[in-house]
Amino acid sequence: MLERKWKNIISLIFMYVVAVGIPTCCGQNISRGSFPKGFVFGTASSAYQYEGAVNEDGRGQTIWDKFAHSFGKVIDFSNADVANDQYHLYNGDIQLMKDMGMDAYRFSIAWSRIYPNGTGEINQAGIDHYNKLINALLANGIEPYVTLYHWDLPQSLEDGYRGWLSPQSIKDFATYAETCFKEFGDRVKYWITFNEPHTFAVQGYDVGLQAPGRCSILLGTFCRAGNSATEPYIVGHNVLLSHATVVDIYKRKYQPKQRGSIGITLDSFWYEPATNTSADIQAAGRAIDFNLGWFLEPLIRGDYPRSMRTRVGTRLPKFSQAQSAQVKGAFDFIGINHYTTWYANENNTNLIGVLLNDTLADSGAFTLPIALGRPVHDRANSIWLYIVPEGIRSLMNYIRQKYNNPLVIITENGMDDGNSPFGSIKNALKDEKRIKYHNDYLTNLLAAIKEDGCNVRGYFVWSLLDNWEWGAGFSSRFGLYYVDYKDNLKRYAKDSVKWFKNFLAS
């Protein structure tokens, strides 16, 4: 009788799994209920990667419009003129989020839709669009998390004064941000000033692989202008001052009435020493300093990490006493985008420095996703994205211990599959690796919260949809939903959608 009872229970469980469509590849030992009350789950996107409609309703050109249309800058020669066309299709995408049970949507406002030239006259059509998007999200019970700058600087500012290389950018960004607070702040309660300043400072001004494509490493061949030894640091400095200026405006003029929160999103790998030698242990520490610490340490302590001050010297800008006081503590939360873990070796040959003379050489750390004698991890489609779930727990504990446990929101985490022209949609929807990725990263994040005491309050999946992925173009698919670029951008739920729907309903 007892044996028969258990057989019936097992049969019912199996029938339930089949009915809801949860892939049997991965056990689901965690759920929404495992996380603290009020923990937020959402998906993330950015304007240039999602919206399309680049020439509609008065939108101005951005540095990414120009860069993506420059020969050889995008691996598949594509651009984001149409992207996912979310500018027109946002209502349907909101229903996808609602159906999954997501709490929030992180998206960015395109600066050039509000100010087509970066400054001057406000474009009312841009205001109207984001009002409609925000209202539609709230009507469906989805909290908007708004990023003010996700890499799409108005081209007019780049042409006029070289964009983030000029202090004038601080004033113009503050004007744009304040306009957004005035127009949307009665409903938007979570603001993010910048997305990944480390990435666009290095990729855009050091190695030239992203807009505006400045560098001196391959000056005259790959890059037309730039100075890799100084420009990334100048850009980072102006971005930090822009952030602090905008946070000050928000806290003084808008937060008391609107009662929202404001922060910044920083990207960081986790770095493990390639060996147990003290040299490699120190190299791993410097790698994190030149990645996360570059922007987080000024926000916590009012200055750059000591390793940066020592190694970069006079090329690293200095904060005045007043600037230091303004930057320090300029956040309500810190967003963290984390995807992977790499290994760090000490760079004691100076070969990289001779060849590059840039931020990569300045750190004195040579980083790779593999190391002799260390575990070789599974990889996603992107050559840089190795799947190391325990890295997120290590990174959260590093922030807790070194930076006094600030409030953290994981504003991006995810993995990509390739976009094979020969594969079927049916097979592309079977994304067991993605399910395992999120299950394992969330399991480690939960341990960091519950067992270690890390102050983490949210998790945003990159991304809701497959999307145009910067220099990788359409060759990479990060989405929970498959987008058919050959058939009117139709959205198809991957198996990971069913997994998240069950996870969030549990």
How many angstroms separate the CA atoms of 148 and 429, rounded? 32
Alpha-carbon distance of 245 to 399, in angstroms, equals: 24
Kindly list the distances between the CA atom of residue 328 and the CA atoms of 17, 307, 332, 420, in Å, as whole numbers in the listed order: 50, 19, 12, 47
d(CA 274, CA 369): 10
Q: Is the dihedral of CA 309, 196, 267, 70 positive or negative?
A: negative
Question: Which residues form the catalytic set?
Answer: 196, 412
Let me know: does 326 contact 248? Beta carbons within 8 Å: yes
Cβ neighbours of residue 292 under 8 Å, at least 6 residues apart? 198, 266, 267, 268, 395, 399
Residues 6+ apart with CB under 8 A from 128: none
Residues paired with residue 336 on neighbouring β-strands, in sequence order: 266, 410
Beta bridge partners, 342, equal: 271
Surface-to-core class of residue 379, CB atoms within 10 Å of its CB (0-12 exposed, 13-18 middle, 19+ buried): middle
Q: Would you give the DSSP letter of residue 219?
A: B
In this structure, the strands spanning 341-346 and 270-273 are parallel
Residues 6+ apart with CB under 8 A from 408: 333, 334, 335, 336, 396, 399, 454, 455, 456, 457
The secondary structure element, H or E, covering residue 476 is strand 476-477
Residues 22/502, Cβ–Cβ less than 8 Å: yes
DSSP annotation of 431 reads -
Q: Which residues pair with residue 482 across a beta bridge?
A: 492
Output the CA–CA distances (angstroms, integers) from residue 341 to 384, 438, 478, in the order listed.
9, 15, 18
**Residue 167 identity (one-letter amino acid):** P
Say which amino acid occupies 317: P
**Chain Cα centroid distance, residue 432:** 23
DSSP line for 143-185? EEEEEEESS--BHHHHHHH-GGGSTHHHHHHHHHHHHHHHHHT
Order of strands, edge to edge, in the sheet holding 365-368? 270-273, 341-346, 365-368
